[in-house]
């Protein structure tokens, strides 16, 4: 048995080596390769054909499917299979299903229902996975002969789905086809795909920036991978980097005027929402203060102090958002205090850019950010940022905009809030506990298309004002010279007249 297992491992290693040796040429090749990987692990069509029909899976079913989930994740992590391929799910008969079991397919459709299925306790502990999600999907296909209803088992779903009661969600799925139970007449087949990720393209009930990204073909579920109050994380920890580049790629398709307009509209809408909450926030803050004043127990007072501070912060947050909205600007406070709730929101800031540098994009696949070779990172300081920068990653700079670490240019920028980033300041501090080290700070990261350089407008008016001022001074100088010359001529004439009068006498 050990010898047989060693042969399987050697086969798996050889298959992976072939994958790394060069890119796969077509979707069908990739799909067949994954089927071969499953067969090397002794998970062939014969094994898969004995799976129970969901959602009532037994432990033996879960053991097989968890192995498929694991191999699918490792397979998709390989650089050679990151690009998209067209291997659409088209199953016209039971024979088609049998022949394509174990292959990978792409499909687009609408999820109508989601059900959480808990794993057996021992398997959950061993695999670090408590449950999977069964999604019923209607495939969007033009050919009525193809399969329409598909059951998808996924190890994860978008976070916002956990609070939803009804579903009508646009999705795309890449998964491996698994054979379900069939009836005696060989017609009642369950078309089942296993996947580790469901790409989501919402049309409502999410922040406006996420709707904008989804309209331009970004998988919004990638934003669940963002890790707030941390540095940018490595790919093996999270797909945060993929989300970052996907958002920038989507923003390339957005018109600058549309982005600015939507951001200003969202500033007004958010202010309206906070204004509606403001009376209740004031009452809650006052109620907690009165409760704290009447409380005598030390432990209870500690808890109440924390609650009072939270209520005060929320009240101040509302006031800041409402006040700045009168200027069509966003407050930076929500991005610091509640980043998880603000991710994907459209914002509009005005401030001073003190740093602007070009960032080259590392080598990535064409599917992750097509033709995106570089972007620009700008540090903007606003009136309410308390001398902390807002890091803005933009695709372009205005013509003539200066770059470097020592600039000072007034700008306005509309964009989408991405994350609250923990970074180390460039300056070293000498405070206790921080001696000789760079202080760790937190700042919002914003994704945009192009900042508006306010100095450009000022310079145009400034140049005309300068030339107008020079012309005015020149006119004054000419008038003064003319008046001086006339006065001098008048004095000379009078002096000549006096001399003539003296001679006559």
**CATH number of the structural domain spanning residue 360:** 2.40.50.140
Q: Which two tokens stand for residue 261?
A: 């307009």
Cα separation of 269 and 296, whole Å? 42
Indicate if the pLDDT at residue 186 is higher than 70: no
Residue 380 has pLDDT above 70, yes or no: yes
Please say if the pLDDT value at position 457 is more than 60.
no
**pLDDT above 70 (res 340):** yes
399 and 488 housed in the same domain: no
pLDDT band at 198 (very low <50, low <70, confident <90, very high): very high
Within-domain flag for 221: no
Q: Distance from CA of residue 299 to its chain's centroid? A: 41
pLDDT confidence bin for 184, thresholds 50/70/90: very low
Q: Does 296 score more than 60 pLDDT?
A: yes
What number is the average pLDDT over the span 386-390?
91
Is pLDDT above 70 for 399? yes
Whole domain around residue 479: which residue ranges? 461-505
Question: Are residues 346 and 445 both part of a single domain?
Answer: yes
Give CA torsion, residues 180, 182, 188, 189, to 10 deg: 20
Which of the residue ranges 37-46, 83-92, 188-197, 278-287 would you say has the lowest mean pLDDT? 83-92
Does 497 have pLDDT greater than 70?
Answer: no
Task: Return d(Cα 259, Cα 46) in angstroms, integer.
Answer: 53
Q: Supply 449's token pair.
A: 């298309």
The CA distance from 468 to 149, in Å, is 73
User: Does 245 fall in a domain?
Assistant: no
Pairing of strands 131-139, 191-195: unpaired
Half-sphere exposure (CA, 13 Å, Cβ side) for 119? 23
Query: For residues 150-162, b (16+ Cβ closer than 10 Å) or e, as one string?
Result: bbbbbbebbebbe
Q: How far apart are the first and last CA of the chain?
A: 148
Residues paired with 346 in a beta bridge = 416
444 close to 421: Cβ distance less than 8 angstroms: yes
Query: Do 202 and 214 touch, CB atoms closer than 8 A?
Result: yes
pLDDT value, residue 140: 75
Residue 102 CA to residue 146 CA, distance in Å, equals 18
pLDDT, position 55: 80
Backbone angles phi, psi at 178, to 5 degrees: -120, 135
Amino acid 24: pLDDT: 43
The rounded distance, in Å, linking the Cα atoms of 361 and 373 is: 5
* CA dist., res. 18 & res. 140, Å (int): 34
Residue of 480 and 61 predicted with greater confidence: 61
Sequence-ordered list of residues with C-beta below 8 angstroms from that of 245, at least 6 positions apart, any chain: 361, 364, 368, 369, 372
Q: What number of residues does the chain have?
A: 505
List Cβ neighbours of 383 (8 Å cut-off, separation of 6 or more). 351
Residues 6+ apart with CB under 8 A from 305: 292
Domain boundary among 200, 220, 245: 200
Residue 432 vs residue 495, higher pLDDT: 495
Of 190 and 378, which is predicted with more confidence?
378
Q: What is the DSSP string of 24-56?
A: ---HHHHHHHHHHHHHHTT--HHHHTTPPPTT-
Regarding whether 15 and 123 lie in a shared domain, the answer is yes
Q: What digits encode the pLDDT tens for the residues 443-453? A: 999 999 999 99
d(CA 352, CA 408): 6
Q: What integer is the mean pLDDT of 277-298?
A: 94
Domain boundary among 180, 200, 220: 200
Burial of 17 (C-beta count, 10 Å sphere; 0-12/13-18/19+):
exposed
pLDDT of residue 147: 59
Long-range contacts of 40-44 (CB under 8 A, 24+ apart): 40/8, 40/11, 40/12, 40/15, 41/8, 41/12, 41/67, 41/71, 42/8, 43/67, 43/68, 43/102, 44/102
Q: What is the pLDDT of residue 86?
A: 42
Residues 6+ apart with CB under 8 A from 386: none
Q: Domain count for the chain, please give it.
A: 3
Checking if the pLDDT of 99 tops 90, the result is: no
- Give yes or no for residue 19 having a pLDDT over 60: no
66 close to 122: Cβ distance less than 8 angstroms: no
Same domain, 371 and 407: yes
Instruction: Classify residue 226: in a domain, yes or no.
Output: no
Point out the least confidently predicted range of 40-54, 362-376, 456-470.
456-470
Q: Which residue has the higher pLDDT, 191 or 481?
A: 191
More confident position, 463 or 347: 347
Q: What angle do CA 111, 117, 119 make, to 5 degrees?
A: 145
Q: How far apart are CA 190 and CA 378, in angstroms?
A: 52
Instruction: Verify that 18 and 141 share a domain, yes or no.
Output: yes
pLDDT at 16: 45
Residue 154 domain flag:
yes
Residues 88-103, mean pLDDT to the nearest whole number:
66
Asked whether residue 207 is domain-assigned, the answer is no
For 200, the 3-state DSSP assignment is strand
Q: pLDDT by residue (tens digit) across 207-253? A: 999 999 999 999 999 999 999 999 988 888 889 999 999 999 999 99
- The predicted pLDDT at position 9 comes to 42
pLDDT band of residue 476 (cuts 50, 70, 90) is confident
Among residues of the chain, what percentage have pLDDT more than 70?
Answer: 73
Question: Residues 170, 24: one domain?
Answer: yes
Percent of the chain at pLDDT > 90 equals 54
Question: Which pLDDT score, from 0 to 100, does residue 191 have?
Answer: 83
Confidence of residue 22 (pLDDT cuts 50, 70, 90): very low
Residue 330 to residue 342: CA distance in whole angstroms: 12
Among 410, 427, 450, the domain boundary falls at: 450
Query: Does position 84 have pLDDT exceeding 80, yes or no?
Result: no
Q: Could you tell me if residue 372 is inside a domain? A: yes
The model's confidence at residue 433, banded by pLDDT at 50, 70 and 90, is low
401 lies in the same domain as 502: no
Name the DSSP class of 387. T
Task: Give residue 80's pLDDT.
Answer: 46
Residue 321 — very low, low, confident or very high, per pLDDT cuts 50/70/90?
A: very high
**Cβ-contact 348, 413 below 8 angstroms:** yes
Q: What is the structure's pLDDT at 379? A: 96
Q: What is the pLDDT of residue 416?
A: 98
Q: Give pLDDT, residue 366.
A: 45
Instruction: Give the integer Cα–Cα distance in Å for 171 and 135.
Output: 11
Q: 186 and 277 share a domain? A: no
The reply to whether 6 and 90 lie within a common domain is yes
pLDDT of residue 56: 84
More confidently predicted of 180 and 336: 336
Question: What is the tens place of the pLDDT at every residue in 244-277?
Answer: 999 999 999 999 999 999 999 999 999 999 999 9
Instruction: Quick: pLDDT tens for 34-52.
Output: 888 888 888 888 888 778 8
């Amino acid at each position: 048995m050990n010898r047989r297992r060693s042969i399987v491992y050697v086969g798996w290693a050889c298959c992976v080596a072939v994958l790394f040796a060069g890119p796969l040429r077509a979707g069908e090749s990739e799909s067949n390769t994954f089927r071969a990987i499953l067969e090397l692990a002794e998970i062939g069509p014969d094994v898969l054909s004995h799976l129970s029909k969901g959602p009532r899976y037994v432990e033996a079913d879960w053991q097989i499917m968890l192995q498929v989930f694991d191999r699918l994740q490792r397979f998709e992590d390989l650089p050679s299979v990151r690009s998209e391929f067209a291997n659409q799910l088209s199953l016209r008969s039971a024979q088609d299903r049998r022949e394509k079991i174990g292959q990978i397919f792409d499909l687009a459709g609408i999820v109508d229902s989601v059900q959480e299925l808990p794993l057996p306790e021992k398997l959950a502990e061993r695999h670090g996975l408590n449950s999977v999600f069964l999604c019923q999907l209607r495939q969007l296909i033009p050919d009525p002969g193809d399969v329409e209803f598909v059951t998808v088992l996924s190890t994860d779903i978008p976070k916002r789905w956990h609070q939803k009661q009804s579903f009508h969600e646009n999705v795309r799925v890449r998964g491996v086809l698994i054979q379900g139970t069939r009836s005696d007449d060989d017609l009642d087949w369950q078309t089942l795909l296993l996947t580790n990720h469901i790409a989501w393209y919402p049309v409502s009930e999410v922040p406006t920036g996420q709707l904008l990204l989804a309209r331009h073909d970004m998988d919004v579920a990638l934003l669940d991978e963002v890790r707030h109050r941390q540095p940018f994380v490595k790919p093996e920890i999270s797909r945060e980097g993929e989300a970052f580049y996907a958002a920038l790629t989507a923003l390339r398709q957005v018109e600058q005027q549309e982005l600015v307009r939507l951001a200003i509209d969202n500033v007004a809408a958010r202010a309206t929402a906070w204004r509606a909450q403001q009376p209740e926030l004031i009452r809650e803050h006052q109620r907690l203060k009165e409760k704290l004043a009447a409380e005598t127990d030390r432990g209870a007072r500690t808890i109440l102090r924390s609650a009072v501070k939270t209520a005060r912060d929320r009240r101040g947050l509302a006031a800041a958002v409402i006040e700045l909205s009168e200027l069509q600007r966003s407050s930076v406070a929500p991005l610091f205090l509640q980043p998880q709730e603000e991710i994907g929101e459209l914002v509009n800031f005005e401030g001073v850019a003190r740093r602007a540098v070009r960032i080259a994009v590392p080598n990535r696949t064409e599917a992750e950010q097509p033709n995106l070779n570089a972007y620009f990172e700008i540090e903007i300081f606003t009136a309410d940022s308390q001398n902390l920068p807002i890091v803005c990653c933009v695709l372009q700079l205005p013509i003539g905009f200066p770059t470097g670490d020592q600039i000072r240019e007034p700008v306005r920028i509309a964009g989408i809030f991405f994350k609250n980033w923990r970074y180390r300041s460039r300056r070293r501090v000498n405070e206790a506990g921080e001696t000789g080290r760079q202080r760790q700070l937190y700042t919002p990261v914003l994704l945009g298309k192009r900042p508006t350089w306010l100095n450009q407008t000022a310079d145009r008016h400034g140049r005309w004002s300068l030339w107008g001022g020079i012309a005015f001074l020149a006119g004054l100088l000419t008038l003064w010279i003319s008046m001086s010359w006339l006065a001098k001529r008048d004095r000379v004439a009078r002096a000549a007249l006096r001399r003539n009068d003296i001679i006559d006498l």
